[in-house]
Structure 1
Amino acid sequence: MNKKLAFALSGGGSRGALQVGALYALLDCGLQPDFLIGASIGAVNAAFLALNGYSKDSLDRIAAAWRNAGATDLLPANYIWLTLRAMVNRSSSDPSRRLRDFFISQGLTPDLSFTDIAQPNLVIVSADLNTGKPILHGTMPEDKVLEALLLSTALPPWFKPVRKQNRYLMDGGFVSNMPVEPALNLGATQIVALDLIDAREMIGDGDGVRGFLDRLVYSVERRQLDLELALAEARGIPLLYFGLTGELPVPIWDFTHTDELITQGYDIARRVIETQRFTNPILATGG
């Protein structure tokens, strides 16, 4: 059986900068993915990486894009007001337009198709609200990268679900935030999982609506993660898991901590690599 190493990148908003640091560490130890699969912000990192190739120069460009995002206010912090506007069908399209313009400025033009990207192969996950199942973009020749990214990052209340062919599609994190199962279904024989779930930020301390919603979202994501990791184990697929939790909880909309998160992501990944270098088959065989 031919080896197919997948890098699976989870959602997590601004904490995606931790993945950039971890990718530097994975590059240092010589791992090269055959394909990249991402949901939400993980899809953004995967697309940037696939577009530019997996190299230090590419990661430097991605880090620069993250710093630019911090100055762009991609996700306005007034999400409660945005939620209220959405409930009365008056959500502004400004955040969506801002995000689209940001992607285009980074080379993800509207005409860029998945077939324009040679290696590694790129797959982006969005969620189908009609079925509750993940949709895998990049498996059809006509799929466009920018459209897939805008679907995979359509996170309420900032962005509304998108209607496409009688389906409503939205942020891939709602059905497969850590897309291990999609990687398995695409034939991965080894998986590196870069997970951004952070219980400290997700679980609210209060008993109000905010605290309840935080706990609800976290419990769903935790359950999804446990099931997807268990599925890889049941199928006998080697998996190298990185729990990328920064030193301090960072809200998903706060893109002003890029440099420290990249450094922390690198340090976390190096520790995992060192502790599993001789026990994890992915590291022991060099992928």
Structure 2
Amino acid sequence: MRPELRQESQTPPRRVAFVLSGGGSLGAIQVGMLQALLEEGIKPDLLVGTSAGAVNAAWVAGLPHCDGVKDLAGIWCGLRRQDIFPLSPWAGARGLIGRTNHMIPNEGLRALLDRHIPYQRLEDAEVPIHIVATDLKTGHAVILSSGPAVPALLASTAIPGVFPPVTIGRRELVDGGVADMTPIAAAIAQGATHVYVLPIGYSWLRQERTNAIGMAMQALARVVEQRLHVEVAAFGHSADIRLLPTIDGPAVSPADFSRSPELISRAYRATKRYLSKPPAELKESEAPRRVVELAPLSAQVA
């Protein structure tokens, strides 16, 4: 056999990716998932994250071990709404009348990231990290794999209208969830052969909503869920994709961090149960379709 043909027939090296979706304060769920994965010896060769998932991914990229995730859990359990979503009638009014393009400044989040992210630049992380943001002009996903870490994370978490857009290079960037809430495609593009998806889950799909905010959130959740299933189906032939189970839980606003300990604990137990199944049973179709009750962001921020 010719050497080049023999090389082409070789199985590609195993590359494990963790893909972390967005979800505000519900990102605490992913901390429990991460702890369970690492305890079972499942370690990432690369991480891809959107919004809150980008922050979790960035932390694990710098401290990819159980003790690192325990420290991350401590940070989540110590967060308060005002740390991330400080309410200011003056700032809110300026946003409403068009004096600014946002209602909440991102200084609190910036200070948190400056204090805790264990590296300055994305390429300095111990595990390759890829942050998803959205180009405000085109609406397309932008993958940030190098450059200053904190601006990239601020861009990925910049909820349109809530936080200010972040300029990186010549682009204005906003929350990665606008373009790609669960960036499986980005992980495949980076050479992942095994993908563990750490979703949040949305209860809006199973409840009838009659008010405007509820209907809007339900529609958004439907789009996110459908896109997730489309990506799993589309890339299932390219990689082994494991969709971790989400959890049942109480009504939680994306801006309410008070339930973080409970969410972490429940997600940890659910993931341990899932991973304890025999390998033949670890299929995406068998992952529980449970969800967390998601309360409107406006209930905590407005």
Q: Which residue is 1:98 aligned to?
A: 108
Q: CA deviation at 1:40?
A: 0.3
Which residue does 1:58 correspond to in 2? Answer: 68
Name the residue aligned to 1:285: none
Deviation at 1:102, TM superposition (A): 0.9
Provide, for residues 182-204 of structure 1, a one-character-per-residue CA deviation record: whole Å limited to 9, x for no partner. 10111111100000131249967
Tell me if the contact between 2:17 and 2:196 (Cα under 8 Å) persists in the aligned partners: yes
Aligned length: 272
| 1:95-134 matched pairs, under 5 angstroms | 95-107=105-117, 112-118=120-126, 120-134=127-141
Residue deviations 1:37-64 (CA, integer Å, cap 9, x gap): 1000000001111122x22210111011
C-alpha distance in 2 between matches for 1:201 and 1:281 = 22
Aligned to 1:14: 25
One-letter amino acid of the counterpart of residue 125, structure 2: I
Matched position secondary structure for 1:255: coil
1:120-152 CA-partner distances (Å, limit 9, x unpaired):
2111110113332211111x4xx1111110000
Q: Distance in 1 between matches of 2:218 and 2:96?
A: 22
Residue in 2 that maps onto 1:213: 216
Judged with a 3 Å threshold, the aligned counterparts in structure 2 of structure 1 residues 127 and 276 are, in CA distance, closer, same or farther, namely: farther
Q: Does 1:45 align with 2:56?
A: yes
User: Are the aligned partners of 2:102 and 2:160 in contact in 1 as well (CA < 8 Å)?
Assistant: no
The residue that corresponds to 1:222 in the other structure is 225
Whichever of the two has the greater Rg, that structure is 2
Q: 1:73 maps to which residue?
A: 83
After TM superposition, the structure 1 stretch with the greater mean CA deviation from structure 2, 240-249 or 271-280, is 271-280
* Alpha-carbon offset, residue 84 of structure 1: 8.2
Does the Cα contact within 8 Å between 1:11 and 1:39 map onto a contact in 2? yes
Query: Among residues 4, 9, 23, which one is paired with 2:15 in the alignment?
Result: 4
CA contact (8 A) 1:83 1:156 kept: no
Paired residue for 2:39, among 16, 28, 36? Answer: 28
Alpha-carbon RMSD across the aligned residues, in angstroms, is 2.7
Structure 2 alignment gaps of length 5 or more: 1-11, 285-302
- Contact 2:204–2:218 under 8 Å retained in 1: no
- Alignment partner for residue 171 of structure 2, among 167, 183, 201? 167
TM-score, L = length of structure 1: 0.85
Structure 1 Cα separation of the partners of residues 21 and 265 of structure 2? 18
Residues 77, 253 of structure 1: 8 Å contact kept: no
The structure with higher relative contact order (CA 8 Å, sep 6+) is: 1
Distance 1:43 1:12 in 2: 10
Partner of 1:177: 181
CA distance in 2, matches of 1:281, 1:212: 32
Deviates more, 1:162-171 or 1:239-248: 162-171
SS in 1 for 2:250: coil
Report percent identity of matched pairs: 29
Using the TM superposition, give the Cα deviation of residue 281 of structure 1 relative to its aligned residue in structure 2, in angstroms: 8.4
In the aligned structure 2, how far is the partner of 1:174 from the partner of 1:202?
22
Equivalent positions of 1:229-248 (< 5 A) are 229-233=232-236, 235-248=237-250
Structure 1 residue 213 displacement after superposition: 1.9
2:254 paired residue number? 252
Runs of 4 or more off by more than 6 Å in structure 1? 201-204
Shift of 1:67: 1.9
